[in-house]
Structure formats: structure tokens, C-alpha cells
Amino acid sequence: MQRELSGKRAILTGASGGIGRAIAEALVKAGVRLAIASRNADALNQLAESLRAIGGDVLVVPTDITKPDDRKRLVDATVEKFGGLDLLVNNAGIGSHGHFATSTPEIMRQVMEVNFFGPVELTRLAIPHLMKGNHPVVVNLTSMCGRKGMPAWPEYSASKHALVGMSEAWRGEFTRFGVDVVTLVPGLTNSGFGGQLLRRDGKLEIPFNEGMKPVELAAGIVRAIQKNSREVVFGGEAKRLLTFNRFFPRLTNWLIARKVKKLYANQ
Ligand SMILES: NC(=O)c1ccc[n+]([C@@H]2O[C@H](COP(=O)([O-])OP(=O)(O)OC[C@H]3O[C@@H](n4cnc5c(N)ncnc54)[C@H](OP(=O)(O)O)[C@@H]3O)[C@@H](O)[C@H]2O)c1
């Protein structure tokens, strides 16, 4: 069933980032009442000002998604302000670029905390409110790396695979409560992501500036929420890679391995 967004009460994490800002604007334009969350309070307040200027009903809740108290404050403040919750968009995320053999346990844990445990535990707190919501939905921003693990993105790939798997399990479970789950699988996007990497050691240059425009991605995300899509892949490169991998997995792996050997031939 098509989802009407006007009047819905929502939480959006990672709102200060490239994709998050664009989603925030698209949701507010669709009439959503929105709590915006991330660590950077100044960036959130600036965003809130621009959203209010276009008529948005916006709540700022500075939040470190890895902190249990912050997650609870975010859900409590949103429910108090809007009287309930209909939409949770788990968008906050970080990455790390470099091979596993030279990475650290700290990077592994930090990526999992932000990309997996943060959204999962936030959803745990949100579910009792979503169950009482109006056509409620959990929306998870995963990645192309959540459907195909990529070299130099081991922690990131693992965290996004985990979130994809959790989304699939939730989809079955949450039908009991009438809560939908939308899994978003974007490819390369020209956001602030490349500048926030915990590590930048991979040999392959990633041309973030050639990626999708966040505004275009956000428009697709809003359509996916309205259409109540189960899973949507965004971006030509991601669609090509995942389709090729589905039909020719051995060839895909062989091509990837050949590229890695070439890049690291002198090491
Ligand atoms: N860019 C791409 O190519 C691409 C492709 C596929 C999927 N994605 C996914 O899209 C989502 C948005 O990423 P983006 O591209 O917009 O990157 P971005 O510009 O770096 O934004 C990331 C957002 O996450 C927030 N964040 C990071 N750590 C956090 C924490 N501990 N607590 C709360 N918020 C935190 C950041 O805000 P603060 O620093 O203020 O906390 C920021 O708002 C991520 O889940 C990412 O994995 C991105």
C-alpha cells in the first residue's frame, strides 16, 4: 500500500551528512515532522533553520548513535515533541578504506558500533512507539557493500551485510506489528563520506565526486518509502555490479581478485 508521508512523525540519523541533509529536506518537503540527529549540534541547528524556513516542523537532538543514553534521549524527545513515531530512518554511517590484514580491532569495532549496533539498538527503542504509529516503517541505509563484500572495505562490508541481514529478519518479524522495513542499497554517492573515513589506505582511488548527487538519491529514497519497497539498489554502478555478480559470481570474484593482485603487485 502506498504510504502518505504528510504529517508523519520521523527520526532521521546522520542528518548532518551529505545524504542525510538531502533526505531531511525531501522528507520535510513531503510534510514529515522530523527529529534530526547526529553528533554535530552546530550543523544540525543550521540544517533545522533552513528546514524551518521551508515550513518544517523540526526537532534537533544531538546524538552519538553509539551511546545508549543518547539513543534513548533521541527516541524520548521525539515522542514527547510529536506525540508518537511513524518513521525511523537509520542513515548515520562511517567507513574505513584499507585491507583487513593491516587494519585494527578498534576500527572493526567502531564501524560496527556506528553502522550496525547503533541503528539496531535505536530500532529496539523505537519499536514500541512504531507499533502504535500510523503506517509505520523502519528504513535502513545500507550499501552496495552490504550485498557484495568489497576489498579494502572489510569492516564496512561486514557492517552493512549485518544490517541487510537484520533488515530481512525484521521484515518478517515486524509484520506482526504492522511495521514495514525498507532496505536501501546505494552505490557511490558524492557526500561527505570520503572525508570522514576512519582510515584511507586502500590503493584503489574511489571517485566520490563522480557518484550520485545526494539530492537525486534522496528523491529515490522518498519514493521507496512512499511505495513501501522492500529493497532498492541505487546507482548505475551498483546495479551493474550486483546484477553481474548474481549471474556470474565466479567471474566477478575472479575479476576482483585480478584487480587486487595488480594493485598490490609490489607489496
Ligand atoms: N557516500 C556513499 O558513497 C555511500 C554509499 C552507500 C551508502 N552510504 C551510506 O549512506 C549513509 C550516509 O552517509 P553519507 O554518504 O551521507 O556520509 P557523510 O556525509 O559522512 O554523513 C554521515 C553521517 O553520519 C553521522 N554520524 C557518523 N558517526 C556518527 C555517530 N557516532 N553518531 C551519530 N551520527 C554519526 C555524521 O554526523 P556527525 O559527524 O555529526 O555525527 C553524518 O551526519 C551512511 O550509512 C553510508 O554508509 C554512503
Predicted confidence at residue 266, as pLDDT, reads 83
Known catalytic residue at 264: no
* Degrees, nearest 5: CA angle 237-239-240: 65
Asked whether 157 lines ligand 1 (CB < 6 A), one says no
Question: pLDDT band at residue 9, thresholds of 50, 70 and 90?
Answer: very high
Superfamily of domain 9-236: NAD(P)-binding Rossmann-like Domain (3.40.50.720)
pLDDT at position 267 over 80:
no
Residue with CA nearest ligand 1 atom 1? 189
Q: What angle, 0 to 180 degrees and rounded to 10, lies between the N-to-C axes of helices 249-263 and 236-247?
A: 120
* DSSP state for residue 220 in the 8-state scheme: H
Asked whether 114 lines ligand 1 (CB < 6 A), one says yes
Tell me how far the alpha carbon of residue 222 lies from the centroid of ligand 1, in angstroms. 18
Predicted confidence at residue 105, as pLDDT, reads 98
Sheet with 87-90, side-by-side order of all strands: 58-62, 33-38, 9-13, 87-90, 137-141, 180-186, 231-234
Predicted confidence at residue 215, as pLDDT, reads 98
Asked whether 63 lines ligand 1 (CB < 6 A), one says yes
Rounded to whole angstroms, the Cα distance separating 63 from 120 reads 15
Predicted confidence at residue 8, as pLDDT, reads 98
Query: DSSP letters of 57-120?
Result: -EEEEE--TT-HHHHHHHHHHHHHHHSS--EEEE------BS-GGG--HHHHHHHHIIIIIHHH
- Predicted structure pTM score: 0.98
What is the mean predicted confidence (pLDDT) over 242-265? 97
What percent of the chain lies above the pLDDT cut of 90? 98
Average pLDDT, rounded, for the chain: 97
Whether 145 contacts 134, CB under 8 Å: no
Best substitution site from 12, 16, 69, 167 to test ligand 1's pocket, by max atoms within 8 Å of Cβ? 16
What is the mean predicted confidence (pLDDT) over 107-129? 98
Model confidence over 136-151: pLDDT tens digits?
999 999 999 999 999 9
Tell me how far the alpha carbon of residue 62 lies from the centroid of ligand 1, in angstroms. 14
Model confidence over 214-252: pLDDT tens digits?
999 999 999 999 999 999 999 999 999 999 999 999 999
Asked whether 193 lines ligand 1 (CB < 6 A), one says yes
* Cell matching residue 49: 533553520
What atom of ligand 1 comes closest to residue 13's alpha carbon? 34
Asked whether 188 lines ligand 1 (CB < 6 A), one says yes
Model confidence over 36-69: pLDDT tens digits?
999 999 999 999 999 999 999 999 999 999 999 9
- The one catalytic residue in 156, 170, 193, 234 is 156
